[in-house]
């Protein structure tokens, strides 16, 4: 397998993980696991964004680096709307709160919004990973 084939396989794997995480978020929402819903919704977007940049021969070690690249390379160039980045950052912050310390309950409304945001973000990002 060539390096290019390996990279393409990794991109495809990240896209598959994005879809899987979105399914997990929906499943968690249906089951009433609202904190988990927010986390899985963010990771769906994280894997989709990772695939986009891997397809462009770039990778990031930190979530914040990936988010900055989304702004610099996708939003500022007009590839995706600013609202997509805003939703992605909101998901990132909610994932941090859910996973690291905020013990207050997560509402079903907030969890459902996380899934809706992730669905919209994936609609924009997944086609970009094929470029």
pLDDT in tens, 102-121: 778 889 999 999 999 999 99
Q: Is the pLDDT of residue 11 over 70?
A: yes
pTM (2 decimals)? 0.94
**What is the set of domains in the chain, with CATH numbers?**
3-130 (1.20.120.330)
pLDDT of 39 higher than 70: yes
Rounded mean pLDDT of 14-26?
Answer: 98
pLDDT at site 104: 82
For residue 39 the two structure tokens come to 């986390």
Q: What does the mean pLDDT of the chain come to?
A: 94
Query: Can you give the pLDDT at residue 105?
Result: 86
Q: How many residues does the chain have?
A: 131
């Amino acid at each position: 397998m060539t390096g290019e084939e390996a990279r393409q396989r990794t991109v495809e794997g990240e896209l598959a993980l994005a879809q899987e995480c979105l399914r997990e978020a929906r499943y968690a929402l249906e089951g009433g696991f609202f904190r988990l819903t927010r986390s899985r919704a963010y990771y769906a977007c994280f894997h989709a964004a990772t695939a986009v940049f891997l397809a462009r021969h770039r990778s990031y070690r930190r979530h914040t680096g990936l988010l900055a690249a989304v702004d610099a390379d996708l939003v500022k160039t007009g590839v995706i709307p600013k609202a997509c980045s805003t939703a992605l950052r909101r998901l990132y912050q909610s994932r941090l709160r859910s996973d690291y310390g905020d013990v207050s309950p997560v509402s079903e409304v907030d969890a459902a919004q996380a899934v809706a945001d992730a669905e919209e973000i994936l609609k924009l990002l997944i086609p970009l990973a094929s470029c």
